[in-house]
Structure 1
Amino acid sequence: MANFNTHLNGAFIVSGTLGLTVYKAGFIDDAGFLMCVALGTMGGLLPDLDSDNSTPIKIGFNVVSFVFAFALVMHWRSEFSLLALIALWLAGYGFMRYVVFYVFTNMTVHRGVIHSVPYMAILGIGLTCLNYYGLDYSLTTSWFYGLFLFGGAMVHLLLDELYSVDLMGARLKRSSGTAMKIYQHKDRWWYLLLYVILAILIYFAPPFEAFWQQLSDPTAWAQLKLGLWPQTLKSWLN
């Protein structure tokens, strides 16, 4: 299994390369490029949320706990005293960081249903729907954000599968096939639920055909081709 740094760097490199490509083709602006790279890199860490001792789950729960505690204080700031707000902040943080974290880690198994393709597809399409319907982002931006999150997660799963191959011994390790899963019979009811949720999200997702038409527009790719090589190199080649 690949380690944290490998997942982080792999997702960042792939997301950065693809992000620059669609940015130079004119599909996204400066802010969209940065967000695509950030989401792709974040997606590269998501599958390890089911690992009790992984760096992503620890960082993630710390961030969520701080945000939750801050939201509680902001909501009740005009009604509670200073000492009460401090107590509320500590209670909110402690509840998320220790109680919810304990429940989550005891309910999940590493490389279980979270560490699977359909689960990551749900997160990707779910983000697309949230951006398009909830945040009023454009169709193109919404799909790019969701696809980059999903793509980063696929980089993670692919790296785990590659690391399950012992090239020196020309054999598969015991972990082979446990990373990029689309189904496991022992978790069949969980997978049934995942695919039902995925089907619902696909049904309500923004129109992909319109996004694909924009993506396959030859004008954009012709623009990218013109700016593919540095001017000095093109002059030298000609």
Structure 2
Amino acid sequence: MANFKTHLNGAFAVSGVLGIVGYKAGLLGGHEFLICIALGTIGGLLPDIDSDNSTPIKLGFDFASLFFAFSLVMHWRSELSLLSLMALWLAGYGLMRYGIFHVFTKITVHRGIIHSVPYMGVLALGLVMLNYYLLDTTAMTSWFYGLFLFIGSMVHLGLDEAYSVDLLNSRLKRSSGTAMKLYSDSGRYWYIGLYALLAVGIVFAPPFTEFWSTLTDPITWMILKDGLLPRELFSSLTSTIR
């Protein structure tokens, strides 16, 4: 199994490269570019939040608690007074960091259902809907946020599977197949619930058409192609070819 540093660096590297590509293609602004890299890196740590004493779960719940608390404040900022907003922030943070965290560590098992593809899909889709419906983020940006979170988590699962192969002795370790799971018979009812949540989430998710059409628009990739090489080098190559 890959360690914390490997997961962190791997997810950051992949998210950074994809973020730069999206930025140069005009798909992401400077602000969204940084958030996408952060979310991709966080996604690279998420699958290990089912390990009670791991660094990812502590960092993950700290971040989730802050994000949840600030989301509550942003949503009700116009309706509530300053003192009420402060109380709401503290209540939201405390509920997530100490209440949900305690329940979570009691009911989860390491490399269980959380360490799976559908669970990460549910989290990514949940992030998309949270941004779109609660934080008033555009549909396109919301989908990018969810996509980067999901890609980061897939980097984590992929690294764990890669580390389960002993290349020197040409054999699979006992951990092989336990990382990137789509289904496990021992947790069949949990997986059925996950896929049901995914189906419901897809139905109520924000519009996907604009995101997909922009992502597949030839103009988008023409912009990226034009910015692929330094202009001086591109002009020099063009002159040489001629």
How would you bin the TM-score normalised by the shorter chain? 0.7 to 0.9
Give the equivalent residue in structure 2 for 1:82: none
What residue ranges of structure 2 are gaps of 5+ in the alignment?
73-79
Change (3 A) 1:38 1:178: same
Give the equivalent residue in structure 1 for 2:75: none
Amino acid corresponding to residue 27 of structure 1 in structure 2:
L
The answer as to whether partners of 2:40 and 2:148 remain within 8 angstroms in 1 is: yes
Give the equivalent residue in structure 1 for 2:161: 161
Give the equivalent residue in structure 1 for 2:140: 140
TM-score (norm. length: structure 1):
0.85
What residue ranges of structure 1 are gaps of 5+ in the alignment?
80-84
> Which aligned pairs between 1:175-194 and structure 2 lie closer than 5 A?
175-194=175-194
CA distance in 1, matches of 2:192, 2:5: 33
2:44 is aligned with 1:59: no
Root-mean-square deviation (CA, aligned residues, Å) is: 2.7
CA distance in 2, matches of 1:201, 1:100: 22
Q: Deviations over 1:148-204 (max 9, x none)?
A: 001100000000000000001111100000000010000001111111111100111
Give the equivalent residue in structure 1 for 2:8: 8
CA distance in 2, matches of 1:45, 1:183: 21
Amino acid corresponding to residue 46 of structure 2 in structure 1:
L
Identity %, equivalent residues: 62
TM-score (norm. length: structure 2):
0.84
Moved more, 102-111 or 168-177: 102-111
Give the equivalent residue in structure 2 for 1:107: 107
Alignment: residue pair count: 226
Amino acid corresponding to residue 148 of structure 1 in structure 2:
F
The answer as to whether partners of 2:43 and 2:149 remain within 8 angstroms in 1 is: yes
Q: Deviations over 1:3-40 (max 9, x none)?
A: 00100000000000001001100011000100100000
Give the equivalent residue in structure 1 for 2:131: 131
The answer as to whether partners of 1:27 and 1:140 remain within 8 angstroms in 2 is: no
After TM superposition, give the deviation of residue 55 of structure 1 in Å: 0.5
> Which aligned pairs between 1:219-234 and structure 2 lie closer than 5 A?
219-234=219-234
Amino acid corresponding to residue 155 of structure 1 in structure 2:
V
Give the equivalent residue in structure 2 for 1:25: 25
CA distance in 2, matches of 1:42, 1:31: 17
